Amino acid sequence: MTARILVACLALISSLCLVAPTQAADVQITDDGTKAVVTIDGQPFTEYRYSGYAKPILYPVYGPGQKPMTRNYPMVKDVDNEASDHPHHKSIWYTHDEVGGIRFWMEDAEGKKSKDVGTQVQTSLKIDGNTIIAQNDWKSSDGETVCSDQRTLTFGTDGDARTIDYEVTWIASSGDLVIGDTKEGTMGMRTHPRLRLKADPKRGNHTAGGHSINSEGVEGKEMWGKRAAWVDYWGEIDGQLTGIAMFDHPGNPRHPTWWHARDYGLVAANPFGVNHFENKPDGTGDMTLKAGETMTFRYRFLFHTGDAESANVAQAYKAYAEE
């Protein structure tokens, strides 16, 4: 079976079999040729921006009460109280820094242009109700396709919370594929500055009121490199206690995943970076797909009011895991 036929089959399976969170009364998705705009009950939720960046991103993202949930930089610059570091941390994204020997986490825009920095290029997009199904080729700087993916994003609600289910199927479409052992990956977000655990005045952030915990009860910066089924960050945004939880599906390879979760707002689920997280020999976390093989990861973002306890994040994860 060719890679393109495989992609088509995966798209059909996703559209027929996807298990979605509770859908709101009115989820609308409109594609304008550069981005797919998502609204819930007529209010902006997010935009899936697949053009103009080194990888597709979700930005902006609004949680309950229309509170902004992620950092504006670098999509919008010079925002008050936002740190201007790590321009590759673009709101919500999926990528990894060692894929077939090519770096996809870092970007040329950071002044690190080199032959081994790649981009994700969309090849197709379909909208089916409250779901986006897109295919992408991961290309090296000389235009060679390293691998492909299909990602399925489903938008909905869970009570007064909002949800995004983010599913990615890796496809070894160009021969055997090695996904490398590095902490720089993979399902990532950069939170609103008020969810930061630590301020950074030198880089433009002067206040940080965030808190965090994972499914194992580990809190704060100690969460970095630990394995957990979920993590949650919360803080007061525009007068409302608001949080973001990320869920690692129990069917994912190497569940529970490791978390590249920093105190400055980077939160990423990374099942590959074992040598960094557990101080094991480099290459321990490598994963190889043979030519034509696929591998699927599923995550959920839960945008909620309150803290992890009052939002009952543990129960929300249990319900997700049982779907």
Over the chain (323 residues), the average pLDDT of each successive run of 10 is 51 47 73 97 98 97 98 96 95 97 83 74 98 98 96 96 98 98 98 96 91 98 98 97 98 98 97 97 98 98 98 98 93
User: Which residues, in sequence order, are CB contacts of 232 under 8 Å at separation 6+?
Assistant: 212, 213, 214, 243, 244, 245, 246, 307, 308, 311, 313
What is the structure's pLDDT at 13?
47
Q: How far is CA 82 from CA 31, 74, 86, 265, in A?
A: 29, 10, 12, 11
Give the amino acid at 205: N
What is the structure's pLDDT at 323?
87
What is the structure's pLDDT at 14?
47
Among candidate residues 160, 188, 150, 190, the one with its CA nearest the CA of residue 294: 150
What is the structure's pLDDT at 4?
53
Q: How far is CA 18 from CA 11, 129, 162, 240, 258, in A?
A: 10, 12, 18, 33, 25
User: What are the tens digits of pLDDT across the range 248-259?
Assistant: 999 999 999 999
d(CA 213, CA 234): 9
Among candidate residues 265, 269, 266, the one with its CA nearest the CA of residue 229: 269
What is the structure's pLDDT at 3?
52
What is the structure's pLDDT at 26?
92
Among candidate residues 250, 232, 252, the one with its CA nearest the CA of residue 241: 232
What is the structure's pLDDT at 113?
53
Categorise residue 207: left if φ over 0, alpha if ψ from -120 to 50, beta otherwise: beta
What is the structure's pLDDT at 42?
96
Longest dimension (CA), the chain: 55
- pTM attached to this predicted model: 0.92
Residues 48 and 144 sit within 8 Å (Cβ to Cβ): no
Among candidate residues 122, 254, 264, the one with its CA nearest the CA of residue 179: 254
Q: Which domains does the chain have, with CATH numbers?
A: 3-321 (2.70.98)
